Amino acid sequence: MKEKLSQERAPIYEALEEFRKMRVVPFDVPGHKRGRGNPELTALLGERCVGMDVNSMKPLDNLCHPISVIRDAEILAAQAFGAAHAFLMVGGTTSAVQAMVLSVAKRGEKIILPRNVHRSVMCAMVLCGAVPVYVNPECNDDLGIPLGMSVAQVEKAIRENPDAKAIFVNNPTYYGICSDLRSIVKLAHKYGMYCLVDEAHGTHFYFGEGLPVSAMAAGADMAAVSMHKSGGSLTQSSILLTGPTMPEGYVRQIINLTQTTSASYLLLSSLDISRRNLALRGKEAFAQVVRMAEYAREEINNIGGYYAYSRELCNGDSVYDFDVTKLSVNTLPVGLAGIEVYDLLRDEYDIQIEFGDLGNILAYISIGDRPRDIERLVSAMAEVRRRFARARVSLMSQEYIEPEVAVSPQDAFYADKVSLKLEEAEGWICSEFVMCYPPGIPILAPGERITRPIIDYILYAKEKGCSMTGPEDANIERLNVIKACEQ
């Protein structure tokens, strides 16, 4: 009889440890053969690490069709997260988000979503041909950030598009904003739609106390969770969670359309070990994260000028809740764009924060941070204000620009196109992505009309030093537009 699984177990890690003791002679891939063929790589990563970079085999299971240790690890993950099923992902949350979209929508079918979604959502629509129906988020004009989705706006979109297949929700946004997820899930199910949730930045919701509701607890059908962000696993490792409405076998087939057949056991074991750590110690760990974030927020606000915002933004609807672990700070009152503070912290003080946009920065605080690191951040921000602050003039504060969708993302992406200078592209329909990364939210997506405010925003973001990605022209001096859709 099979031993009962416990959250104290880490089946993939345990299998790797047993395999390591066997001293198997490798006549399979990877070709570095436990690091012997690449001594420089071994020196960098260590013998133990490269020795565990192995291929799928019977003792270690296979991610495409798990029946033993990977299967056990997924069962434990589902139990820990309160899901019906869990799928270990080695293509990042990007692949998990794409699997969600591809699981519920086909060509021409609609998904209701906020415009401030990650590029992975739009890329999935390019792949499957789904059509976006945007719920334009409310904005906080002082902070220059989009908020969550209003329940009334979601219901309006549902009534206008009763044939939509799903509603897509961010939980939370990059800045920590949470919509009324429970109400949105109830609305989706009332009208026969799925609710898909991007929880790239919400792993801790499942384990901490006093935090916003998680997707599975709210009754969502699918959720993509970045374990590598706040959960402690290796970069690129993620988990896709599903509720009881989603057929496990079909979702696995969708995942296998795009996920590698050569899954990294370094990533898989990191997911396994991190799940165990959070299941056993997550409550205490995230309580400490909250304490550090709240302390940093108070100290930064005491500096003067900066505004580190929190639950005071909550309005019962478009800001239903706030993730207090997110140290989001508006920098405009000190006369500096967020990206400028981001650059100054890195270049002058050797502090790497998560991102800076035109008006805000985000310092990501997680289970690996220490109180003395928080003190260093606070001290550096005080110095930045003292040394570099200036009058608040000529700073663009509004980040959200309402899109005009003219063509489906798939049709636009694959259409015949021409390249135009950015300044000449006004009125044309874009056939590629433009975004600041991070956070990876498109300023333009395929199928959207290029307007003057969008051109001005791109030029301003470039001037301020934002890292712009997406177009074929890496310098963002030209854009590809649909050839057949002149002004």
The pLDDT, as a whole number, for residue 136 is 81
Q: What is the pLDDT of residues 89-110, one digit of tens each?
A: 999 999 999 999 999 999 999 9
Which of 211, 175, 117 has the alpha carbon at shortest distance from 307? 175
Residues belonging to the chain: 487
292 backbone dihedrals φ, ψ, rounded to 5°: -65, -40
Q: Give the pLDDT score at 225.
A: 98
Domains of the chain and any CATH numbers: 60-279 (3.40.640.10), 409-482 (3.90.105.10)
**pLDDT value at residue 169:** 98
Sheet holding 434-436, edge to edge: 441-444, 434-436, 468-469
The Cα–Cα gap between 53 and 341 comes to 39
**What pLDDT, on the 0 to 100 scale, is given for residue 12?**
97
Entry pTM:
0.93
The burial of 365, by beta-carbon neighbours within 10 Å (0-12 exposed, 13-18 middle, 19 or more buried), is given as buried
Decide: residue 280, CB within 10 A, 0-12 exposed, 13-18 middle, 19+ buried: middle
Count other C-beta atoms under 10 Å from residue 477's C-beta.
12
Q: Sign of the C-alpha dihedral, residues 302, 306, 310, 315?
A: positive
Q: Are strands 355-356 and 360-364 parallel, antiparallel or unpaired?
A: antiparallel
Is 299 in contact with 267 (CB distance < 8 Å)? no
From the first residue on, what is the mean pLDDT of each consecutive set of 10 residues in the chain (487 residues)? 79 95 86 92 93 92 97 98 98 96 97 91 95 88 88 96 98 96 98 98 97 98 97 97 97 96 96 98 97 98 97 97 97 92 97 92 96 98 96 59 87 94 93 76 88 88 78 90 73
pLDDT on residue 485: 57
3-state secondary structure of 28: coil
Where does 350-472 have alpha helices with state H?
A: 371-388, 409-414, 452-464
The confidence score (pLDDT) of residue 395 equals 52
Non-local CB neighbours of 93 within 8 Å, separated by 6+ positions? 120, 198, 200, 224, 225, 226, 238
Measure the CA–CA gap between 342 and 363, rounded to whole angstroms.
9
Nearest to 178 by CA among 212, 137, 143: 212
Q: Computed from CA positions of residues 445, 451, 457, 460, in that sequence, does the dihedral angle turn out positive or negative?
A: positive
Sequence-separated (6 or more) residues with CB below 8 Å from residue 355: 174, 338, 342, 361, 362, 438, 439
